[in-house]
Amino acid sequence: MAKNLVIVESPTKAKTIKKFLGSNYEVIASEGHIRDLPKSSMGIDIANDYEPHYITIRGKGDLLSTLKKAAKKSDFVYLATDPDREGEAISYHLSVALKLEEKKFKRITFNEITKGAVKSSIKAARGIDMDLVDAQQARRVVDRLVGYEISPLLWEKLGKKSLSAGRVQSVALKMISDREKEIDAFIPKEYWSLDALLTVPGQKKSVAFSFKGDIASSKEAEDLKKRLTGSDFVVTDIKTSSRTQKAPLPFTTSTLQQTASSRLNFSTSKTMRVAQQLYEGVEIKGKGTVGLITYLRTDSTRISNEADESARNYIKENFGEEYVADTTSAVADTKKNIQDAHEAIRPTDVTITPASLKGNVSNEQYKLYKLIYERFLASRMKPAEFSIFSVTVTADGETFKASSSSLKFAGYQNVYSADDDKSKNQVNLSGIEKGDKLALDDISTVQHFTEPPSHYTESLLVRTMEENGIGRPSTYAPTISTLIARRYVVKEQKNLYITELGEAVNNVMETAFPEIVNVEFTANMESLLDNIGEGTVQWKVVVRNFYPDLENEVSHAHENLEKIKIADEESEEICEECGARMVVKYGAYGKFLACPNFPNCRFTMPYYEKIGVSCPECGGDIVKKITRKGRPFYGCINYPDCEFTSWNKPVEKKCPRCGKYMIVKGKKTACSDKECGYSE
Alpha-carbon distance of 373 to 154, in angstroms, equals 45
200: closest CA among 445, 393, 468? 393
Catalytic-role residue among 78, 295, 323, 456: 295
DSSP string, 155-223: HHHH--TT----HHHHHHHHHHHHHHHHHHH----EEEEEEEEE--TT-SS-EEEEE-S-B-SHHHHHH
Asked about 295 being catalytic, the answer comes back as: yes
For residues 446 and 192, the answer to whether their CB atoms sit within 8 Å is yes
Burial 178-202 (b: 16+ CB within 10 A, else e): bbbeeeeeeeeeebbebbbbbebee
For residues 206 and 417, the answer to whether their CB atoms sit within 8 Å is no
Alpha-carbon distance of 272 to 474, in angstroms, equals 9
* Other beta carbons within 10 Å of 379: 25
Alpha-carbon distance of 542 to 532, in angstroms, equals 9
- Greatest CA span in the chain, whole angstroms? 97
For residues 399 and 213, the answer to whether their CB atoms sit within 8 Å is yes
CA dist list (Å): 523 to 132, 171, 173, 404, 467: 18, 10, 15, 44, 10
Residue 154 DSSP one-character state: H
Looking at residue 520, its amino acid is: E
Instruction: Give long-range contacts, CB 8 A cutoff, 24+ apart: 554-560.
Output: 554/149, 554/150, 554/153, 554/512, 556/512, 557/153, 557/157, 557/508, 557/511, 557/512, 557/513, 558/153, 558/156
List residues with catalytic annotation: 295
